[in-house]
Structure 1
Amino acid sequence: MVIPYPAVLVLSLAAMVAVYSLGMAGVYALPWMMFFTAITASVYGPGPGFLAAAASVAGLHFFRSSLQDYLVMGFILFLSAHLAHLVGESLRRAHRRAKQLAQIQEVFLQGLEVVPRFFERHQLLRELPRLLSRLLRNSQLHIWVYSGADRLEPLEEGPKAPSELAQRALRERRPVWHEPTRIAWLPGGGRPYELALPILAREEPVAVLQIVRSEAWRPEELELFARLAQTIGRQLEHLHDLELRRLLLQVADRLAAAHDKREVAQAALQSLMPALGMEGGVVFQHRRGMLQGVAWEIPQDLRPTLAPLARRLARPRGLAWQAYHSGMPFFTEDYGAHPEALPELKQLGFETLVAYPVHTRDATKGRVVLVLGHRGRLAWTRSRKEILLGVERIFSSALERALQDELHQRINRLLTEAWSYPSQEVYQRILEAAVELVPGSETGSLWIWEEEAYACRAAIGEVWDCEARQGEGDMLEWYAEGSTRALEGAPRIRAEDSGQAGFAANLCLPVAHQGRVLAYLNLDSQDPQAFAEDSLAAARLFATPIATLVHELQSRAALEKAALTDGLTGLYNRRAFDLRLKEEVERARRYRYPISLLVIDLKNFKPINDQLGHAAGDRALREVARVLLQKGRAGDMVFRWGGDEFAVLLPQTDAEGALAVGQRLLAAIAQVCLEGICLSANLGQATFPQEAQDAEGLLRLADDRMYADKRAST
C-alpha cells in the first residue's frame, strides 16, 4: 500500500502533538520532525523544506529542550531538508529520464515495425523524417546521401553542404557527436548539440543522418539511435536484395523474348541504366580488330557526338579497350582525370563510367564490353556492382545463345546462297563470314587445293605471299601439327613475333575431305591473346561447310571444264570460245586495250587421216595443240573449233603483234610431220577495235581472211 505524501505530513504532525501531549522530551519528537521536513523538501523543493525545518526548530519551544538541543536538532533538521531535496531531485530526474526513454523506445519499436513495410530504398530514406518526427521533437534532421569519393549530397532541400561532423561520421563509419558547435544555418544561430549517424549497407555508406537539437545527448539515446541506424541499414540491405531479385527476373524475361544479339543487348541496357542511374550506355562487340556497337542508348542531345563512337571504336581508344584486353572491369567516378578518357566524353562532362567485359563460355577475355556512363558523380557502391554482376551473368548467357544462333544462321545462309555466286565470290564470302564470326579474328586467307598446289582464293587484309602457290609440304610446315592432325581437321592456335607490329596470333583450320586436305583457313590477329577455346569452337563449325562448298565447287568446275574442253586435245572447245570471245572483247572495250583473233585451218591433214588412219590423225591434232600452247604467250587462249580448225585469242595485242604471233605459230605447225607428211595451215587475223567494233565483227573478219588465204593458196 502506498501512503500519499500529504498523509505522511499529517501523520508526522499528529505524532509530534502526541509526544507533546504525553509531556515527553523534544528528542522524542525529532524523528517526526525529520519526516515532516524531509518529505516537504523532497516533494516541494529546498525552500519549503528549509521553512519546515525552521518551523520544527521553533516547535521545540513547546518541549523541554536546552540550548544544546536547539542547536543539534536544528542542524539535523536542516541537513535532513537538504539531503531530502537532493534525493527527491535525483528521483524526479530519473523519473523524467525513464519517461523519455520509454517514449523513445516506443517510437523505436514503432520504427522497427514500420521500416520493413517499405519496398524501395529511396522511398525509405525519404520517409525517415516523418517516421522519426515523434522521436525528434525540437530537433532538426537532415539526410545526406553518399555519392562516392567521400562526398555527401542532400536528399532534399536544405543545407547545401554537410557539417564537419557528418563528414567525419562518413569517414569513420560510426556514430559521432559533439556539444556544442555553432552551425550557421540553425535558426537563431544558437549553439546546438549535433549527432551524425552513418547508414551502412554491406559495410558501405548509403547515407548520413544529421540530427541537431539544443539538449545534450544522453548515452541511452545515443545507443538507441545507433541501433536505429543499424536497423535502417539492414533493411536497406534487404530492400537491395529484393530489388535485385525483381530486376534479375525482369531482365531474364526480357532477354528470353529477344530474338537476336541486338535485341538482347538493347534489353540489357534498358534494364540496367535506370537501375544504376546511368544516362547512356553501349554494348560493344570485338570484330575485325574494332569494337563495334551492337546496341546503344544515348540521350537525344548527345547523339550527334556519341553515336559515331557507339557505332565503332577503333583501337586503342578509351577504357572499353582496356577492359577488352585485360578482361577486368574498370570503374571510375572521376572519368575526366583518367589518362585514357576520350576527349568527346570529357567535353560533355561525363564523370561516372564503367567499362565491363561480358564473359562468354570458353573465352579468355570478354568479346563483348558493356559501357555505361553518367555526367554527374555517382558512387560505385557494392550494391551497384552487385546489380551489374547479376545482370551481366544473365546477359552473358543470353548473348552467347544469340551469337551461336547468328553463327549457325550465317553458315546455313552460306550453304543455301553459295550456288548463286561465282566460285571466287563464294570463297570470299566464306572468308568474310569466318573473320566476322570467329572471335578474335581481324584478317585472314583461304587456301584451296588446285592442280597439285594450294592457291590463295580469298584474302582480307594484308596476307603474306598470297600471290604464290604453296605446296602440300609448305602448308603442313605452316600448320605445324602434322599430317594426321591435319586430316582430322584439328584447328591450331599459334602466336609469334611478327617483327613489325609486335606479337600476332594465327588460327589455322585444315579442312579435310575423303583423305585429303581440301583447304586451309587462316585467321590472323595483332593481339597475341586474341584466340581461345571459343575461337576454336566457332572455327570448327566452318569445317563442314567449307569442305562441302569446296568439293561441290571443284566438282562443278570439273563439269564445266569438261563441257568447255575438247576431249582429244585438252584445248578449250567451240562453246568455250563463244563465251570467252564476248567476255574478252567487252573487257578490252572497258579497259581500252586491243585484242586480236587468229583463225587457223590445217592443210595436209586429210592425207594423214586417209593414208595413215584416224589414230594418226588424232595424234597430229594433239601435236598441233601442243605446239600452239608451247609457242603461244602467257595469257593467250587457244581453242579447237572442231575438225582441223583452231582459234587463238591474243589479249592486249594489236594487228602488228598479232601478225608476228601468227607467223610464229604457222612456222611451228609446219614442223609437225607424221611418216613424211608435214602439216601447214591457212591463217586469218583481225584486231579489235582497230579493224572490228564487236565480237561478231572480229570473228567474221578473221574467218573471211582465213578463207581468203585458203583460196589464195590453192
Structure 2
Amino acid sequence: MRNTMRTLFILLGALVGLAGTYLVHLGDRYGLPWLMIAVATLASLYGLGWGLLSAAAAWGLDWLLNPNGHLGFAAAILLISVLIADLIGKDLRRTYRRQQEVTTQLALLVAALEELSSFHGREAILRVLPELLGRYGEGHVSVWQPQPEGLKLLSAVGLDARTPTLLPDSGVVGRCALEGRLCYLPDVRQDPTYIAAPQSGIRSELALPLKERGQVVAVLNLERSHPFNKRELEGLERFARAVSLQLSQLSERAELQFLNQLSASLDSASTLSGVAERALALLVQALGMDQGWLWMQQGSRMVAVAGFGGMDEVEEIPYGQGLVWQVYATGRPIYAQNYRDIPQALSRFRGAIGGVVVHPVPLPNQERPRIVLSLYQDSPRRWRESEQDLLAAACRTLGLALEGVLAAQQRDVLIALLREAAEAQAETVYENLLQAAVRMVPGAEAGSLLAREGSRFRFKALLGYDASLKALSFSETEQLRWYSGALQDWQRGEPRILSTNHTDLKQLSGEGLGEAGRVKEIAANLALPVVYRGEVLAILYLDNLHDPAAFAEDSLHVARFFAAPIAALLHEVRYRGLLEQAAATDPLTGLSNRRAFDQRLEEELKRAQRYGQPVSLLVMDLSGFKQINDRLGHAKGDEALVQVAQVLRASKRDGDTLFRWGGDEFAALLPHTDLAGAVAAAQRYAEAIEKIRIEDLELGVNIGVAAYPGDADDSDMLLRQADERMYRAKRCGVSVLKA
C-alpha cells in the first residue's frame, strides 16, 4: 500500500509539473521531461509492458498538447526512458519481491511462534502445527511421529480421510526422519519413492525434521499443487528450527522440574523400599510406561527391592539370567524397542513386554552397578535421546538417595547387633554377625566366621557351608597363608579380595577344608581380619560362588565400616566367654565343672539328634583317692586330682570334652562315638590313670559307659545308664565294664 501511494504521488507531481509548463507557455520546451518522469516511474516499478503502454499514452498526450512539436524525437526519447527505467527497475523489483517474501515468512514465523508459546507440552505443540500453518496459507499439512513400526500420523489439516495413518520408513517423510534434514520434492512425479495420497493435484512435497535436543521426534510435512520457491524453503526451514528449539527448551525445563520433584519426594523417604517405590511411581508416570522394578544384587540373586504396576510374582532373578544381570556385568543401560527381539530376554516375559529399558543406578565406589532399574510397557517403543538423558539424571538422583538410606541401614544393623549381643549367647552373636555381613557387604552370598581359641582359630558360624567344619581348627600361620597378604595388613585388619581370575583358590587353601569347604565352587573371597588392640580376634570370610568379580572397592568400604564395631563386639563376647568359662571351670584341675557338664550334655545330645549321629558319655569314679587324702593329706590329694586331669587331657581325642564333677568324680562327652568306641576310649583313660603314683600309693578308676541312641533317648536316661554301669564295674572289681 505504501509503494502504491508513493507511485501516485510521483505521477501526480509529474502531471502538475507538465501543467505548470504549459501555463507559463514553456510546454513546447519543458513538457517532455515531465512525461519522461512519469513513464520512467511506471516502467521501473511495473516493468516493460506498463512502461511501453505509458510511453504511448504520454506521446499521445504530447501530440495533443503540442501538435507542431517534434513527435518523432519525443517518441524516441520516451522509448529510451522506458528501456533505461526497465533495466534499472528489474533489480529494484527483484529486491522488493524478496523483501515481501521475507516479510511474509517472518510474519508467519513470529505469529506461529507467538501462538506456540502458549503450549507447554510436546504433544500439544506438534498437534497444533498443521492447523497453524494451514491458517497461514499452507494447504496440506501433517505431522508424523517415528514409531517402531514406521511413522504414525499425529495430526493433519487438508488431508483426505482415506490418507493412511502409518507410513513406512521409505519415502520423503521417512528419509527426513532417518537423515534428520529437510527433504524436498519439487515434482513428486519424478521420485519413485513418493507415496501418493488419495487426493489428486499434489505437485510438490516438503518434509521438515522437528528435533528435540538434537534428535528427530516428528516430521512436519507440507504438500502443494505448485513448487516451493527458495525463499519459502528457507523460511519454513527456519520455522522448523525455531519449533525444534522450543521443543528442546520445553524438554530441558520438564526434565529439571521432574528431577526437582523426584529429589523432593525421595528426601522424605527413609527406607530402601520407600525410596524405590516413590522413584518407580514418578518414572513410570513421567515416561508413560506400564510397570517398573528396582533390583539389588545379593550374592547370586537379583532381588526385587520394589515393583510398580504388576508382575508381582517376580521376586528375584537367578545369576546371569535376563537383561538385569547384563547391565550389572557391563555397567551400560539397555534400551530396546521390543523385548521379544532380545536374545537375553527371559522366555516367560517375551509375549508380555514390548518396549523396555534397564538402567544402572550408580552408587559411590562401585565398579559394577549393584542396583538396577527396569521399566517396561506392553507395546513396542522407540526411545528418544531426551528420555535417555532424563533416565540417566534420574538414576543419579536415585543413587544419591539410596546411598544415604543404605548407610543408615548399615548403622541400624550394627546398633541392633550390639544391642542383641548384650543378652544373646556367644553362638547366637556369631551367627547374627555373619548373617548381617553377608547381607550388607556387596557381592557376598556365603561366608564363615572363625574366632581365636588360644593359639588356634575355630569356625564359630557358617552360612552356606556344612556344620561339620566347626570341628576343624587352624593355626594363625595357616590363616595367614589363606589371607595371602602382607603381615602388616593382617595385623592392621585390612580386608583383602581373592578371585579365581587371578588366584588358584583351591591350591591356596590346601586339603584341610575338604568337600565341606566347597573351595572348588568359590569364585571370589573377601577376608577381614578382626583386630582388637593389635590381636587378631577373628577372621570373617565372605564368598561368592558364581562371579569372580563379585567383590570390589564398595565391598571393601563396607567391610572396613564393619571392622571396628565387630572387633569391639567380639572382644566383649570373648571377655564374657572367659567369665562364663571361669564360672564353668573347676579351679583346681582346669577341667569344666558340673554346671558346664549339664549344659554341654544337653547341647551335644540335641546336636546328635538333629544330625542323626551317636554321642557317648563316660562317668569316672577314682579308687584309692581316699587313702591318699587320709594318709598323705589334702595337698597330696589335690596333686592326685591335678595329675588325673593331666593324663585325661593327654589321652583325649579332638572333640572330646572332660569334666570334673566334684570330689574324685570325672566325666567325658564323646561326640560322633558309638558304644564300642566309647568303651575303647574308657579303657585308654583307665590305663592312663592307673599309672599315676603319689609317693607309694596307686590310683585306680571305675568307668561307666553309655551311648545315644542305643542306651538312651534323653540326657537323664543316658546319665543314669552310665552311672549304673560305673557302679557295676566297681562291684565287679574292673575298671571298665564291657557292655
Q: Considering the TM-score relative to the shorter chain, is it more than 0.5?
A: yes
Name the CA distance, whole Å, in 2 between partners of 1:220 and 1:89: 18
- Taking the aligned partners of 1:44 and 1:424, their CA distance within structure 2 comes to 109
Aligned to 1:513: 532
Aligned mates of 2:249, 2:185 — CA distance in 1: 32
Out of 214, 220, 223, the residue aligned to residue 203 of structure 1 is 214
Report the AA paired with residue 302 of structure 2: L
Paired AA for residue 399 in structure 1: L
1:427 aligned residue (401, 412, 430): 430
**Counterparts of 1:688 and 1:670 in 2: how far apart (Å)?**
28
- Report whether the alignment pairs 1:625 with 2:649: no
Aligned residues: 700
Alpha-carbon deviations, 1:413-461, whole Å to 9, x = none?
A: 1121234543233223222222221223343332221131122323334
Q: Are the aligned partners of 2:338 and 2:381 in contact in 1 as well (CA < 8 Å)?
A: no
Residue 253 of structure 1, CA deviation: 0.1
Deviation per CA, 1:82-113, whole angstroms, max 9, x where unpaired? Answer: 99999999999998887676444323222233
Partner of 2:474: helix, strand, or coil? Answer: coil
SS at match of 1:133: helix
Q: Is the 8 Å Cα contact of residues 11 and 38 (structure 2) preserved in structure 1?
A: no
**Are residues 565 and 94 of structure 1, via their aligned partners in 2, closer, same or farther at CA, if it must alter by over 3 Å?**
closer
Paired with 1:462 and 1:708, the residues of 2 have a C-alpha distance of: 44
| Contact preservation (8 Å) 1:12, 1:32 | no
Q: 1:152: which partner in 2?
A: 151
Three-state SS of the structure 2 residue aligned to 1:393 is helix
Q: 2:297 aligns with which of 272, 286, 299?
A: 286
Is the Cα contact below 8 Å between 1:414 and 1:430 reproduced in 2? yes
User: Which residue of the partner structure matches residue 531 of structure 1?
Assistant: 551
Residue identity in the other structure for 2:279? A
Counterparts of 1:324 and 1:370, CA distance in 2:
11
Matches for 1:40-55 after TM superposition, within 5 Å: none
1:613 partner amino acid: G
**Structure 2 length normalisation: TM-score?**
0.79
SS at match of 1:348: coil
**1:547 Cα offset (Å):** 1.4
Report the more deviating stretch, 244-253 or 106-115. 106-115
CA distance 1:577–1:179, change in 2 (3 Å): closer
Q: Among residues 233, 236, 240, which one is paired with 1:222 in the alignment?
A: 233
- Equivalent positions of 1:637-656 (< 5 A) are 637-649=657-669
1:330/1:356 contact within 8 Å kept? yes
Supply the AA of the counterpart residue of 1:558.
L
Q: 2:202 aligns with which of 191, 195, 200?
A: 191
Map 1:527-566 → 2, pairs under 5 A: 527-566=547-586
Q: Is the 8 A contact 1:12 1:35 kept in 2?
A: no
CA separation in 2, counterparts of 1:475 and 1:174? Answer: 68
Does 1:331 find its partner at 2:332?
no
1:489 aligned to which of 493, 496, 514: 493
Distance 1:662 1:249, change over 3 A: closer
1:388 deviates by: 1.8
Q: Identify the match of residue 316 of structure 1 among 320, 332, 335.
A: 320
Change (3 A) 1:140 1:668: same
Residues 355-370 of structure 1 aligned to structure 2 (within 5 Å): 355-370=358-373
Q: Which residue of 2 aligns with 1:384?
A: 387
CA distance in 1 between partners of 2:676 and 2:302 (Å): 57
Query: Quick one: which amino acid aligns to residue 145 of structure 2?
Result: V
Gaps of 5+ in 2: 1-5, 157-162, 507-519, 734-739
Deviation of residue 37 (structure 1)?
Answer: 14
The separation in 2 between residues aligned to 1:508 and 1:37, in whole angstroms, is: 102
Q: Distance in 2 between matches of 1:393 and 1:531?
A: 22
Q: Which residue of 2 aligns with 1:341?
A: 345
Structure 1 residue 691, shift from structure 2 partner: 6.3
Secondary structure of the residue that 2:319 maps to in structure 1?
A: coil
Establish whether residue 252 from structure 1 lines up as the match of residue 263 from structure 2: yes
Partner of 1:371: 374
**Aligned residue number for residue 130 of structure 1:** 131
**Aligned partner letter, 1:141:** V
For the residues of structure 1 that align with 2:230 and 2:337, how far apart are their CA atoms? 38
Please say if residues 107 and 134 of structure 1, whose CA atoms lie closer than 8 Å, have aligned partners that are also in contact.
no
Rounded Cα–Cα distance in structure 2 between residues aligned with 1:470 and 1:694: 33
Rounded Cα–Cα distance in structure 2 between residues aligned with 1:581 and 1:336? 61
After the TM superposition, which residues 433-448 of structure 1 pair with which residues of structure 2 at under 5 Å, given as runs? Answer: 433-448=436-451
Contact 1:54 1:74 in 2 (8 A): no
- How big is each residue's C-alpha offset from its partner over 1:307-339, in whole Å with a ceiling of 9 and x where there is no partner? 42xx32222223332322222333343554444
**Inter-CA distance 380–682: structure 2 relative to 1 (3 Å threshold):** closer
1:497 and 1:504 in contact (8 A); partners too: no
Please list, as runs of the form range in 1=range in 2, the aligned pairs for 1:145-184 lying within 5 A after superposition.
145-147=145-147, 151-156=150-155, 159-161=165-167, 164-181=171-188
For the residues of structure 2 that align with 1:646 and 1:546, how far apart are their CA atoms? 38
Structure 2 contact 292–373 (Cα < 8 Å) conserved: yes
Secondary structure in structure 1 of the residue aligned to 2:135: coil
CA 1:63–1:255: 2 relative to 1, 3 Å: closer
CA shift, 1:671, in A, is 3.4
Please say if residues 609 and 616 of structure 1, whose CA atoms lie closer than 8 Å, have aligned partners that are also in contact. yes
Between the aligned partners of 1:626 and 1:606, the Cα distance in structure 2 is: 19
Query: 2:409 aligned with 1:406, yes or no?
Result: yes
C-alpha separation in 2, matches of 1:62 and 1:684? 163
- What secondary structure does 2:406 align onto? helix
Secondary structure of the residue aligned to 1:363 is coil
Tell me how far apart the structure 2 counterparts of residues 32 and 587 of structure 1 sit (CA, whole Å): 130
Does 1:498 pair with 2:504? yes
Q: Residue type matched to 2:323 in 1?
A: L
Deviations 1:45-76 (A, max 9, x none): 9899989979999x9999999xxx99999999
CA–CA separation in structure 2 for the residues paired with 1:272 and 1:656: 71
Aligned alpha-carbon RMSD (Å): 4.9
AA aligned opposite 1:469? S
Does 431-440 or 371-380 show the bigger shift?
A: 371-380
Question: In structure 2, what residue type is equivalent to 1:507?
Answer: L
**1:143 matched residue in structure 2:** 143
Matched, 1:570 2:606: no
Deviation at 1:411, TM superposition (A): 1.6
Query: Residue type of the partner of 1:140?
Result: H
Matched residue type, 2:228:
W
Distance 2:135 2:489 in 1: 81
Q: Label 1:275 to 1:586 Cα distance change in 2 as closer, same or farther (>3 A).
A: closer
Q: 1:459 aligns with which of 449, 462, 483?
A: 462
SS in 1 for 2:636: helix
- Offset at 1:247? 0.9
Where 2:434 maps in the other structure, the secondary structure is helix
Question: Is the deviation greater in 456-465 or in 45-54?
Answer: 45-54
- Report the Cα distance in structure 2 between the residues aligned to 1:677 and 1:472, rounded to whole angstroms: 43
SS state at 2:303 partner: strand
CA contact under 8 A between 2:358 and 2:373: conserved in structure 1?
yes
Aligned twin of 1:262: 273
**Change in 2 beyond 3 A, CA 1:56/1:320:** same
Asked whether the 8 Å contact 1:596–1:653 carries over to 2, the reply is: yes
Q: Secondary structure in 2 aligned to 1:398?
A: helix
Measured in 2, the distance between the counterparts of 1:631 and 1:51 equals 141
- Displacement after TM superposition at 1:585 (Å): 5.3
Kept in 1, the 8 Å contact 2:648–2:688? The answer is: yes
- Give the whole-Å Cα distance in 1 for the aligned partners of 2:725 and 2:472: 41
Whole-angstrom distance in 2 between the partners of 1:489 and 1:51: 108
* Whole-angstrom CA distance in 2 between matches of 1:569 and 1:502: 45
Question: 2:511 corresponds to which residue?
Answer: none
Amino acid of the structure 1 residue aligned with 2:113: L
